Each structure stands twice: as C-alpha cells, then as structure tokens.
Amino acid sequence: DTEVTQTPKHLVMGMTNKKSLKCEQHMGHRAMYWYKQKAKKPPELMFVYSYEKLSINESVPSRFSPECPNSSLLNLHLHALQPEDSALYLCASSQVQGAQPQHFGDGTRLSIL
Amino acid sequence: QQQVKQSPQSLIVQKGGISIINCAYENTAFDYFPWYQQFPGKGPALLIAIRPDVSEKKEGRFTISFNKSAKQFSLHIMDSQPGDSATYFCAASNDYKLSFGAGTTVTVRA
C-alpha cells in the first residue's frame, strides 16, 4: 500500500463537467506534486506545492486548478476538460521541495467523454 | 528535449535470467538517480536510487551501476521473477524536477 492516497481511482466526466481529484499524505511532507501520465509514457510534472503555497506551474492550462487546503491535502479541480486530457493523474510528495525521493500515489484514471 | 535517454524500450527475459536497462544523461548538474517500478493500474514506486559519489548500489536482486564519466547508469535485475514484470523508469534530478526516461517494459517468462 502506498502512503500517498488518491481518490477517486477512476473518474469519467463530460467536457462541461466540474470535478475534483483528491490526494492525501500523512508522512509530514511539506512538498506535494501533481503529475499527468499518458499511456506508455513517463509522468509529466504539472504543479509543485511547497508549504501549502503554489511554487511551480509547468505552463498547465487554466482548466486545471490546484489547491492545497493544508499540509496533508492536495486537490486538483477540473473544468471544461478536453478529450486529450484523459490520462492517469498522479500525486506525489517529498519532505520538502527539492528533497528526494518523491513518493507517488496510485493515481486517478481520468476519462473525458 | 529529453534529458534522460533509456533503452531498450522493452525486453523479455526467462525466469532466473538477468534484465539490464540502460540510461544516459547530459546534464552534469544531476545529483540523484532513482529507478521507479510501475505495475499496470498503479503509480510509480521507488525501487532503488543512487547519488553520483557511488559507483554501485545493491538492494536484494536489484543493482544500480553508475558511470559518472560516461554519464550513464543502469539497472540490473538478477534472478528475474514473473512478479518483476512491469514498466521501469529511470530518472535524474538536481532539484524538485524528476527528468524521466521513456520507460522499459520488462516481461519475465515463467
């Protein structure tokens, strides 16, 4: 079992829907990350949060909106997504930004109709 | 631009055999080199990692060999088992960002 928990495991949504992905870690880590992974490809970094503040945005479209309510939780709000946004969305955490290793959750499999 | 090049794309090995995956990098500022194992429907799990001041690191059946001058590192899986069938990603980092290789799908035949 991973120490980074993501919900839901699967999500199907239409292009006009609004949904949220959730990530939780209880390792006391102060850096949390969102990645996108397409089939048979490596993960691609989307956002980095450091001490609950957005630190890095890798030029992600605004239809993806991250939020970090506290040091254990990370959300990714989704709105008006496109079919090409269908992917596995992974959350990861590390002790602080720049520290390794990063620990990954099992992801949310997102399908856009 | 891919900063870490990984080969082969896939490999098939018999049970008990040795699997070898190679990675090469260009950025000499990288100071952390992990290998992640990913099963279908799961997230990447850290398998083993090395820093450039060490030339080899072994954990059970998994060994990383690191050649700083050649800017190459490799993963050796000894006595490969069917449960090792997965996708393996090498990566390199010098800060918050992990630069991943393209991945290698390993299939272990019983």
What is the tens place of the pLDDT at every residue in B55-109? 999 999 999 999 999 999 999 999 999 999 999 999 999 999 999 999 999 999 9
CA dihedral sign of residues B106, A83, A88, A45: positive
Kindly determine whether residue A104 and residue B43, on different chains, have CB atoms separated by under 8 Å.
Answer: yes
Say yes or no to pLDDT of B13 above 80. yes
The pLDDT of residue A23: 98
Q: Virtual CA dihedral for A56, A58, A63, A65, nearest 10 degrees? A: -20
Answer whether A16 touches B (CB < 8 Å). Answer: no
Rounded to whole angstroms, the Cα distance separating A96 from A10 reads 29
- Supply A112's token pair: 């856009």
Answer whether A46 touches B (CB < 8 Å). Answer: no
pLDDT grade for A1, boundaries at 50, 70 and 90? low
Say yes or no to pLDDT of B2 above 90. no
Q: What is the mean pLDDT of residues B49-60?
A: 96
Rounded to whole angstroms, the Cα distance separating B39 from B57 reads 23
Contact assessment for residue B62 and residue B37, using Cβ atoms and an 8 Å cutoff: no
Say yes or no to pLDDT of B6 above 70. yes
Mean pLDDT over all residues of chain A? 96
The pLDDT of residue B1: 64
B79 CA: distance to closest CA in chain A (Å)? 25
Point out the residue among A43, A104, A109 whose CB comes nearest to the CB of B45: A104
Answer whether A2 touches B (CB < 8 Å). Answer: yes
The residue among B35, B39, B46, B98 with the most chain A CBs within 10 A of its CB, best to mutate, is B98
The percentage of residues in chain A with a pLDDT greater than 90, rounded to a whole number, is: 97
Q: What is the pLDDT of residues A74-91, one digit of tens each?
A: 999 999 999 999 999 999
Which region holds residue A95: left if phi is over 0, alpha if psi is between -120 and 50, else beta? alpha
Rounded to whole angstroms, the Cα distance separating B23 from B36 reads 13
The pLDDT of residue B16: 98
B102 chain-A contacts, CB cut-off 8 A: 41-42
